[in-house]
Copies of this chain bind each other. A is one copy, B any other.
Amino acid sequence: MLNDLFIPADSKILLVVLDGLGGLEKNGKTELETAKTPNLDKLAKESSLGLTTAVDIGITPGSGPAHLALFGYDPLEWEIGRGVLEALGIDYPLKRGDVAARGNFASTKDGIITDRRAGRIPTSENQRLCKKLSDVIDMIEDVKIHIKSVKQHRFVVIFDGDGLSHELSESDPQKEGNPPSVIKALAEDAGKTARIANRFVLQAQEALETEGKANGILMRGFASLPDLVPFDLRYNLKAAAIATYPMYRGLARLVGMNVLETGSTWEDELHTLADNMDKYDFFFLHFKETDAAGEDGDFERKAKLIAEFDLLLPKLLEMAFDVLVITGDHSTPALLAGHSWHPNPFLLHAPGTALTEGRPGFSERFCARGVLGQLYSLEVMPLLLAHAKRFKKYGA
């Protein structure tokens, strides 16, 4: 239905994702309630609030499904493997039919994994090791092997050839004290890929034998590109993404957004936004650090980061987007030290088209009682398009 309703407009939309924003209480207050957020609180008064559920009630989403849903792609329909995300995040030009996998450099002793991350070796070391592997492993059977460094212990392998399948089990047993698992075909036509992937693991282990910490590898998240309709075609929006962390750049690229070059700080991201304001209709602006603090179980750091975002807010408001959303992709309560199923605080600021709360305060509890009520993340894009006056009436 959506497709028939689009009308052109010159409105501009900004979707700000504070990754893992939602939280749980410590001394009766969540991270968001604990943080000093005078600007957010004031903005909330002039905005509509609600809570969004990323995938389904009770379901804790990974970053992939959570962002896909926000971008309007049903995460239950489009499962996207870690390998694809990592490949896209390093700007690797993944083609339909390629199979990508996430690799870890790992420490092993007598065939048993002693550290799944090889002590988080420095990225420079990772780069040296990927070059070493690339020098000795080029083709296996008729399949070209691309080995690309990501960061610390993480790399990506792309299997590039005909008749490949991503339906494979993982070699990473997810626990130390075990040997790596043999990769198994999980579909009838995945035999060839399983054989090649196992051979790759063996050849890599041989090549790394003489290394100290990083003398093994683990593979997981075998995946291929999904066949989804790109963002600009789907919504008739010229869209750009600003994110520092590879996976989120990858996710944005996967749905067809233009991923902009940016620096590593939040201020850098804001500069990039200001510089490109004229060139796009839609911006996805991603801040990773709130999630990382939540994952680390660091309540105070997460609250402090939210307060830092609050200080940047006036600059965002100066840019005067027609529609501004500030939300999370999923909750990451410091108390749980991980993603959670709790719905996301959601703030929609659209002067002249959004109902306003009329009282200051941005928190899980204000959002739960907000005028938007509870939404699914999948409903966010239609809501943004509506407030951006990019939909015509349905029916006479």
Q: Which residues of B contact A1 (CB under 8 A)?
A: 56, 59, 76
A30 in the interface, Cβ–Cβ < 8 Å?
yes
B382→A75 contact, CB < 8 A = no
Q: Which one of A63, A75, A358, A396 has the highest number of Cβ atoms from chain B below 10 Å of its Cβ?
A: A396
Give the distance in Å from the alpha carbon of A47 to the alpha carbon of B66 in the complex.
Answer: 26
Please determine whether B396 and A85 come into contact, CB atoms closer than 8 angstroms: yes
Minimum CB–CB distance from A235 to chain B (whole Å) comes to 12
Residues 58-75 of A contacting B (Cβ, < 8 Å)? 58-66, 75
Identify which of B81, B342, B369 contacts A355 (C-beta below 8 A): B342
Interface of A is mostly: loop
The stretch that binds B, out of A152-160, A178-186, A277-285, A387-395, is: A387-395
A58 to B394, CA, bound (A): 11
Give residues 84-109 of A contacting B (CB, 8 Å): 85
For residue A172, CB closer than 8 A to chain B, the reply is no
Chain B residues near A60 (CB-CB < 8 A):
386, 391-394
B379 & A58 in contact (Cβ 8 Å cutoff): yes
State whether B58 touches A395 (Cβ < 8 A): no
- A237 located at the interface, meaning its Cβ lies under 8 Å from any Cβ of chain B in the complex: no
User: What does the 1/0 interface line of A324-357 toward B look like (CB < 8 Å)?
Assistant: 0000000000011011111000000000111111
For A79, list chain B residues within 8 Å (CB): 395
**Which chain B residues border A229 with CB–CB below 8 Å?**
none
Min Cβ gap A240→B in Å is: 22
A383 to B357, CA, bound (A): 28
- Contact of B371 with A365 in the complex, beta carbons under 8 Å: yes
Please count how many residues in chain A sit with their CB below 8 Å of the partner chain's CB atoms.
Answer: 64
Asked whether A28 lies within 8 Å of B358 as measured between CB atoms, the reply is yes
**Beta-carbon contacts under 8 Å, A361-396 to B:** 364-365, 368-375, 379, 382-387, 391-396
Is B30 in contact with A382, judged by CB distance below 8 angstroms?
no
Interfacial chain B residues near A63, Cβ < 8 Å: 396
A306 CB, nearest partner CB in chain B, Å: 16
Partner of A64, one of B57, B76, B373, B395: B395
Chain B residues closer than 8 Å to A340, beta-carbon distance: 353, 386
Inter-chain contact A386/B355, CB cutoff 8 Å: no
CA distance A65 to B372 in the complex (A): 22
Question: A137-181: contact bitstring with B at CB < 8 Å (1 yes, 0 no)?
Answer: 000000000000000000000000000000000000000000000
Collect the chain B residues with CB atoms within 8 Å of residue A383's CB.
Answer: 57-58, 341
Cβ-closest chain B residue relative to A379: B57
Which residues does chain B contribute within 8 Å of A368, judged by CB atoms? 355, 369-373
A204-245 interface with B by 8 A CB criterion: 221
Q: Are A394 and B65 in contact, CB atoms less than 8 angstroms apart?
A: yes
Apart from A51-B373, A59-B382, A80-B396, list 12 A-B contacts with CB within 8 A.
A1-B56, A1-B76, A30-B355, A55-B395, A58-B383, A58-B386, A61-B393, A81-B396, A341-B386, A342-B355, A355-B365, A369-B369
Interface set of A (CB-CB < 8 Å, partner B): 1, 5, 24-25, 28, 30, 51, 55-66, 75-76, 79-82, 85, 221, 335-336, 338-342, 352-358, 364-365, 368-375, 379, 382-387, 391-396
Which 9 pairs across A and B sit closest by C-beta, in order of nearness? A58-B382, A58-B386, A62-B395, A65-B395, A82-B396, A373-B374, A368-B371, A57-B379, A341-B386
